[in-house]
């Protein structure tokens, strides 16, 4: 205990020294550098942890036959992951990016300390054993947790904490993909942190630091090796637009099937029942379609490098039947969403970044292949269209066209294809936005009114919480109290409203001072009227968990200046006034928008 106290005092002394000798802005830049370094190291560790497990388990598989171990590995991986989460972590670490969005909107940017390592282990085991998910969402969660906890360690305010969360996410994406611009725009588009002069430089520092360290650790080669053999021509723009629309529709399919499967699994509370269902479905799908094993990056490399059909069909029941390649790909597109979702619902841990890239690559390759097969115009280079599909699915699933454009360009070095990448990404994004307002990460929070957006007014209302503006210093009165006793209570306070609360702690009405002012000095009436006769009914009640946007709507509908608040059990807590909300709103808006 004494040692811990000494360590704390050393930290406090450092913080005091820092406040005197290092400006806030300089220290934020230093922290963004540290966040970039640690996030990149975490990405490196996770990537190689997954590769080690996969090589250990599947390194000896024959390419020209199926393998029965595909039926076993995924179940074992989900089982180990589930046991680790329930017995060691003891917390829900699924849907990493959604958790980051929730911490920004409802927890003032605070992320638990174990998230700096727990997602790394859980996702590494899940993916290494064949879980059909990606490592990017867990690494974003990890990087954001590093930023949040570093800000908490040095007692930085909420605004700085949110900025460092963005730095952690940017550093994680930059480090694992070697894509600094994509890391930056991902933070802006998906985490919806606004770009100001004060936030631009720290985000850039984290991104550049992370990718530089990644270069030092694993070389400067792009993640996917791509050689441009056929330059883009303007005559192919209509095909690129059609691919964008098709990928937008596939993105909708991906998002809504994911939501439907998750809803189905919520019926089962027993984790072993979820494991049995999810593990069985996943194992069967991987056995039939081996590219669904893990992240699927090998398949992407094959498609964008023009590998033969036999190589693409390795380990599958379709091996040796090149004429069935397009059917094989169509079935993978159909079932990939199920494989990814049951991995997480069954107890595994992973994200949908890699699945979206995987699906997009196959979709683009299949689109070009079918156009060429049926002679629909000029011959399309399937390698290029595989790249376009990756950008399109990324843009559609995440509602992030800039991320899709820059990520694919940086992942493959395909900068010469920037124009078609822009076209296909925009077409996919616009197609999706016709049907859905929020991306796959944000849709759960948006339904509950807990999502921060780029709309300043809505973002501030999302950050504000009912419990932060409740006033509890109102004098309670009993419904059986007479006017004389009520007058004595009025004399003790400067408030002009009095909540009427019964013995069960339930609010039954409100007494307004203006309603009794003319009676207060007529002592002959003191015992003739009770509070129950003098009170008014409550126009509307607010819940402690109600989003602030709904609270403001009720104020507008009732034209009230004060409204009562109850807890989840219906017990009276206090009142919220418009003036208190406006004061908190103005302060939060200044914090949220100032440079």
Cα of first residue to Cα of last residue in the chain, in angstroms, is 41
Query: What pTM was computed for the model?
Result: 0.76
Contacts of 338 (CB under 8 A, 6+ apart): 257, 261, 281, 285
Boundaries of domain holding 519: 459-593
Pair 241, 211 in one domain: no
Do residues 382 and 302 make contact, with C-beta atoms less than 8 angstroms apart? no
The count of structural domains within the chain is 3
**Distances 268 to 218, 258, 276, 282, 376 between C-alpha atoms, Å:** 43, 16, 11, 17, 48
Q: Quote the pLDDT of residue 451.
A: 46
Cα torsion 225, 229, 234, 237: sign: negative
Q: Which of 421, 449, 477 is the last residue of a domain?
A: 449
408 and 487, same domain (yes or no): no
What pLDDT score was predicted for residue 64? 55
In a domain, 229, yes or no: no
3-class state of residue 379 by DSSP: coil
Closest by Cα among 128, 70, 125, 134 to 314: 70
Strands 562-566 and 542-543: parallel
Continuous segment of H or E residues that includes residue 72: none
Cα 374 from chain centroid (whole Å): 41
CATH of the domain at 351: 1.10.3080.10
* Same domain? 122 vs 181: yes
For 302, how many CA atoms within 13 A lie in the half-sphere containing its CB? 15
* CA–CA gap between residue 175 and residue 298 (Å, rounded): 19
Domain contains 227: no
Q: Are residues 264 and 405 in the same domain?
A: yes
Q: Which residue's entry shows tokens 């992240």?
A: 295
pLDDT at residue 62, rounded to an integer: 63
Q: Are residues 396 and 269 in the same domain?
A: yes
Q: How many whole angstroms separate alpha carbon 361 and alpha carbon 363?
A: 5
Residue-by-residue pLDDT tens, the chain, 595 positions = 445 444 567 888 888 888 888 888 899 999 999 999 999 999 999 999 999 999 898 877 665 566 788 889 999 999 999 999 999 998 888 777 778 877 776 666 789 999 999 999 999 999 999 999 998 889 999 999 999 999 999 888 878 888 899 999 999 999 999 999 999 888 888 776 655 667 789 999 999 999 999 999 998 888 888 888 788 889 999 999 999 999 999 999 999 999 899 889 989 989 999 999 999 999 999 988 989 998 989 899 889 887 777 788 877 777 777 788 899 999 999 999 999 999 999 999 998 889 999 999 999 999 999 999 998 888 899 999 999 999 999 999 988 899 899 999 888 877 788 899 999 999 999 999 998 877 776 665 554 444 444 445 555 556 667 777 888 888 888 888 888 888 888 888 888 888 998 988 888 888 888 888 888 878 878 788 888 888 888 888 888 888 777 888 888 888 888 888 888 888 898 888 887 777 776 776 665 554 4
Claim to verify: residue 379 and residue 489 sit in the same structural domain:
no
454 is a domain residue: no
For the chain, give percent helix, strand, coil, nearest 5: 65, 5, 30
Task: Say whether both 371 and 270 belong to one domain.
Answer: yes
Of 423, 449, 475, which residue sits at a domain end? 449
Considering the domain boundaries, does residue 223 fall inside one? no
Q: What CATH number does residue 483 fall under?
A: 3.10.580.10
Distance separating alpha carbons of residues 393 and 425, to the nearest angstrom: 8
DSSP 234: G
Mention every residue, 6+ apart, whose C-beta is less than 8 A from residue 526: 482, 483, 484, 487
Count other Cβ atoms within 10 Å, centred on residue 570.
12
**Bridge partners (DSSP) listed for residue 448:** none
Residues 573 and 436 in one domain: no
| Same domain as 424, residue 463 | no
* Residues paired with residue 566 on neighbouring β-strands, in sequence order: 543, 572
Residue 258 belongs to a domain: yes
* C-alpha closest to that of 385 among 469, 303, 319: 303
Q: Is residue 507 part of a domain?
A: yes
In a domain, 311, yes or no: yes
Contact 271/330 with Cβ under 8 angstroms? no
Q: What pLDDT does 515 receive?
A: 83
Is the distance from CB of 575 to CB of 470 less than 8 angstroms?
yes
Whether residues 417 and 565 share a domain: the answer is: no
Confidence at residue 239, expressed as pLDDT on a 0 to 100 scale: 96
- Same domain? For 297 and 351 the reply is yes
In sequence order, what are the beta bridge partners of 576? 563
Q: Among 392, 341, 348, 395, which Cα is nearest to 366's?
A: 392
Q: What residues does 272 pair with on adjacent strands?
A: none
pLDDT given for residue 454 in this prediction = 47
Identify the H or E element spanning 73.
Answer: helix 73-84
Residue where a domain terminates, one of 218, 242, 273: 218
- The pLDDT value recorded for residue 458 is 55
């Amino acid at each position: 205990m004494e040692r811990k106290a000494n360590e704390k005092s050393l930290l406090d002394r450092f913080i005091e020294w820092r406040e005197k000798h290092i400006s806030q802005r300089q220290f934020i830049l230093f922290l963004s550098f540290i966040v970039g370094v640690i996030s990149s190291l975490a990405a490196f560790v996770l990537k190689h942890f997954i590769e080690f497990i996969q090589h250990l388990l599947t390194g000896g598989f024959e390419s020209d036959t199926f393998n029965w171990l595909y039926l076993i590995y995924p179940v074992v991986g989900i089982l180990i992951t589930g046991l680790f989460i329930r017995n060691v972590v003891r917390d829900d670490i699924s849907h990493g990016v959604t958790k980051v969005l929730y911490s920004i909107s409802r927890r003032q940017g605070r992320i638990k300390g174990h998230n700096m390592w727990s997602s790394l282990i859980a996702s590494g085991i899940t993916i290494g054993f064949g879980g059909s998910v990606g490592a990017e969402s867990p690494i974003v969660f990890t990087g954001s947790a590093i930023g949040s906890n570093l800000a908490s360690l040095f007692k930085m305010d909420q605004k700085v904490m949110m900025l460092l969360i963005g730095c952690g996410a940017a550093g994680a994406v930059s480090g694992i993909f070697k894509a600094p611009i994509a890391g930056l725009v991902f933070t802006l588009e998906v985490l919806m942190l606004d770009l100001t002069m004060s936030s631009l430089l720290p985000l850039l520092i984290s991104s550049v630091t992370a990718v530089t360290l990644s270069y030092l650790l694993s070389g400067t080669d792009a993640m996917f090796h791509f050689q441009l053999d056929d330059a883009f021509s303007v005559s192919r723009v209509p095909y690129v637009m059609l691919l964008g629309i098709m990928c937008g529709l596939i993105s909708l399919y991906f998002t809504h099937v994911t939501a439907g499967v998750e809803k189905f699994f919520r019926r089962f509370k027993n984790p072993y029942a979820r494991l049995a269902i999810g593990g069985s479905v996943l194992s069967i799908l991987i056995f039939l379609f081996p590219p669904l094993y893990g992240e699927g990056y090998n398949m992407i490399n094959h498609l964008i490098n023009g590998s033969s059909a036999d190589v693409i069909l390795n380990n599958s029941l379709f091996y040796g039947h090149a004429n069935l390649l397009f059917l094989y790909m169509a079935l993978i597109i159909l079932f990939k969403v199920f494989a990814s979702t049951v991995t997480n619902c069954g107890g595994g841990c992973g994200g949908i970044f890699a699945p979206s890239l995987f699906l997009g690559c196959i979709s683009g390759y299949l689109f070009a292949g079918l156009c060429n097969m049926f002679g629909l115009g000029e011959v399309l280079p399937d390698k290029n269209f595989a790249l376009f599909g990756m950008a399109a699915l990324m843009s559609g699933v995440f509602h992030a066209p800039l991320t899709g454009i820059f990520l694919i360009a940086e992942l493959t070095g395909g900068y010469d294809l920037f124009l078609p990448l822009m076209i296909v990404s925009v077409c996919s994004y616009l197609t999706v936005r016709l049907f859905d307002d929020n991306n796959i990460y944000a849709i759960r929070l948006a339904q509950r009114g807990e999502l921060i957006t780029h709309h300043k007014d809505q973002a501030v209302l999302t950050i504000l919480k009912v419990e932060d503006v409740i006033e509890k210093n109102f004098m309670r009165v009993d419904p059986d109290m007479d006017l004389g006793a009520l007058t004595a209570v009025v004399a003790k306070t400067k408030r002009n409203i009095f909540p009427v609360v019964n013995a069960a702690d339930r609010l039954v009405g409100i007494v307004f001072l203006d309603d009794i002012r003319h009676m207060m000095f007529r002592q002959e009436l003191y015992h003739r009227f009770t509070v129950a006769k003098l009170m008014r009914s409550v126009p509307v009640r607010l819940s402690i968990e109600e989003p602030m946007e709904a609270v403001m709507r009720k104020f507008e509908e009732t034209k009230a200046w004060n409204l009562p608040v109850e807890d989840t059990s219906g017990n009276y807590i206090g009142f919220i006034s418009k003036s208190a909300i406006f004061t908190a709103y103005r302060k939060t808006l200044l914090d949220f928008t100032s440079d």
